[in-house]
Amino acid sequence: MPHTIESVIQTDTTEPTLYDVMDQIVSLHDRCDISDDRIDALREHVDERFSKIDQGFIQIDQRFDKVDLRFKKLEDRFLSL
C-alpha cells in the first residue's frame, strides 16, 4: 500500500517533547564546540607550518648573504690583481 501524506500524518503521532528539543540543541552546540576546537587545532597546525616555512626562508636568505660576501671577497681579490 503506497504511503500518502495523510497516512503518514495520521500514523505519526509522536511529537518531540521540550526535553527532546533541548537535547538536540545541546547536542548541536556540543558539535559546534568540537568543530571550533578542531578549527583552532588546524589553525595552530597551519601557523606552525608557516612558521617553519618562514624559518626556512630566513635560513635561505642568510645563506645567500654568505654567498654574496664570498663573491664580494673574490671580486675584491680579482680586482686587486
Determine the pLDDT at residue 60: 95
b/e burial code for range 42-58 (CB count within 10 A of at least 16 → b):
eeeeeeeeeeeeeeeee
Question: CA nearest 74: which of 40, 54, 66, 30?
Answer: 66
Q: How far apart, in whole angstroms, are the C-alpha atoms of residue 74 and residue 79? A: 9
Q: Quick: pLDDT tens for 9-52.
A: 555 556 777 777 777 777 877 777 767 777 788 788 888 888 98
> Which pLDDT tens digit goes with each residue over 63-77?
999 999 999 999 999
DSSP structural state of residue 16: -
Domain ranges of the chain: 16-80
